[in-house]
Structure 1
């Protein structure tokens, strides 16, 4: 009995040792299998990453920007007058030249007096006689020798004679045609010795100290502007001016469907000439905006303009934007969060929802 018990104990001990050793072997085998699976997964991830499109991404931040509308424009003199004759006659003096600067009241043309002086003398004589007749009528009415109606008639004759003297004197004044304001003589169609009838032009004068910069805005943007908005004007010469929006047409041009707008500009130094080309930037409201290159703008399948970004999972996203202003080296856009990662290279090769490899650059590096 003692031998059997010892044999049985030894058997159990041996079995326990074998089980322990076997369990260690099995754990190692399981670990090897797990390691192999992990290697397969890592290799699969590497293989998948190798097939992803690589794009360059730039982090950009929003800034306060005044939205503007830019328009091509042309300068126009705001005050141009065709100075016409108010009476007729032969021109005897023409003391001006084309391009000459004149001041208010300077003589432009002088017409021969003709019979105007004698007409004035006759009118003055008639006035004297009318005054005598009226005085006599007043006395006779007081004495009761004539009716009151006689005095009234003589008063009417006196008033008529007074008016005739004023007309004759005015006719003499009108023979000298003078500048209504200071400016530049642009046109002189008349010549000495030619006949100038009432309404005919003596000269054309323009005052260039105040200029209009005239542009045409689309019907899409007409609701965004209003009288009194400030504007920046850049002339073709490079000179810059500040102006104010003073006129918006009530009706669109039927051919172009655009509305005329006038920007009034101070031109005391006469740097702006009539008919010069320029660019208007009308200042609108302030917005948070991002400045990007024009090439980064794209369209989605619905024709909506926007940009392509990547999120923190490197997934491409399309975001619609609004163009606030168009500059020579880029555009200001609104509609994005304060800080975004925009695809600066490769955006045309990816679509929204696509996972990509990302190479991040700074804004300075991208601009360089």
Structure 2
């Protein structure tokens, strides 16, 4: 009986092992397949709305075909007008003014007398100097005659020559002093101040008047480092004054040294001003022509920012994937914004660009509008 009980216990143990651990093998099924069946069953049992949500659908956007056009570029700067020359005409000798003053605003010619000083005793001093010159000349001739006969030394001749040269210098000095009694305009221009009043005593260095040369006049602006490389000598320039008047000229000077305080470069443009209509110190806005570059005209609303804060446009890329293209804003006009940095042909997303990112699959719908007209105002 004991042996039978032991056999029965062994059979039961084997049966339990096979049922628990080898059930799948005995049934002829793969555990991996059984593990995948629940997931497949779940997927097949999903409702239709959730199945559609799990699928990758392209995002519908509106795009526009755009072609690059050559845009005449210009550097826009603000500055002021400046006289071509401005000089404080001063006295070179002393004396009292004996002529009536010329009033400010008077047009003067080069060499015209502005202030005339009282000669005083200069005429007498000149006569005395000329007499001394004649005496020195005679003394030199006598010394040379005596030296030829052996009655005078060579030193006496040299002394006589020195005396003659000194007398000539005195004559020249007094003559020049008399010429300086008339203070003349150094160039043609306009009086910015009255000349010295009648009876005013002027010492050497005292101001007689201020003369401005306004034809031509200079337009002076300061270009930042980012723009100075686009400006060339001789470049055509259009200028608009505060009054609304416009003039044209050419760049006549471009500084090679930056202002140490502002790090900007001085630019000068010469403008004809025969009627003196442009005054010194007026505010002016300059548009200096620069080399053109290909650009696209886009709507301002099409511009967007990427995650790094760069301004740009979202384009339809290969396989209808979104591509972000950084751009450079060149000019803002009534028709849109001119931007550079895009390829010659670009498909710009104009509606929906804020709801997609680079790499997103899209379904572009191109609008029927033609490209916007070229800009007429430069």
**Which TM-score band (shorter chain)?**
0.7 to 0.9
Matched, 1:128 2:134: yes
Structure 1 window deviating more from structure 2 (128-137 vs 262-271): it is: 262-271
Structure 1 pair 292–125 and aligned structure 2 pair: CA distance change class (3 A): farther
Report the counterpart of residue 101 of structure 1 in structure 2. 107
Check the 8 A contact 1:314/1:358 in 2, yes or no.
no
Matched, 1:238 2:249: no
TM-score in terms of structure 2 length: 0.75
Matched, 1:252 2:259: yes
Report the counterpart of residue 225 of structure 2 in structure 1. 219
Of 122, 128, 143, 1:116 maps to: 122
Q: Which runs of 5+ in 2 are unaligned?
A: 1-47
Check the 8 A contact 1:253/1:259 in 2, yes or no.
no
Report the counterpart of residue 25 of structure 1 in structure 2. none
Of 291, 295, 300, 2:297 maps to: 291
Check the 8 A contact 1:95/1:107 in 2, yes or no.
no
What is the rounded CA distance, in whole Å, between the counterparts of 1:199 and 1:295 in structure 2? 65
What is the rounded CA distance, in whole Å, between the counterparts of 1:293 and 1:212 in structure 2? 38
What is the rounded CA distance, in whole Å, between the counterparts of 1:345 and 1:106 in structure 2? 72
TM-score in terms of structure 1 length: 0.77
**Structure 1 position 201, deviation (Å):** 1.1
Check the 8 A contact 1:226/1:245 in 2, yes or no.
no
1:222-247 Cα deviation digits (max 9, x unpaired)? 34444444433222323131221413
1:60-88 Cα deviation digits (max 9, x unpaired)? 32222333221112111121111111111
Of 54, 68, 90, 2:74 maps to: 68
What is the rounded CA distance, in whole Å, between the counterparts of 2:196 and 2:283 in structure 1? 31
What is the rounded CA distance, in whole Å, between the counterparts of 1:202 and 1:268 in structure 2? 25
**Structure 1 position 318, deviation (Å):** 1.8
Structure 1 window deviating more from structure 2 (83-92 vs 183-192): it is: 183-192
Matched, 1:362 2:370: yes
1:286-335 Cα deviation digits (max 9, x unpaired)? 32222345554443222333223334765443212234x43554554322
Matched residue of 1:59: which SS?
strand
Matched residue of 1:273: which SS?
coil
Structure 1 window deviating more from structure 2 (355-364 vs 202-211): it is: 355-364
Q: CA RMSD in A?
A: 3.1
Aligned residues: 322
Check the 8 A contact 1:53/1:350 in 2, yes or no.
no
Q: Which runs of 5+ in 1 are unaligned?
A: 1-39
Matched, 1:91 2:97: yes
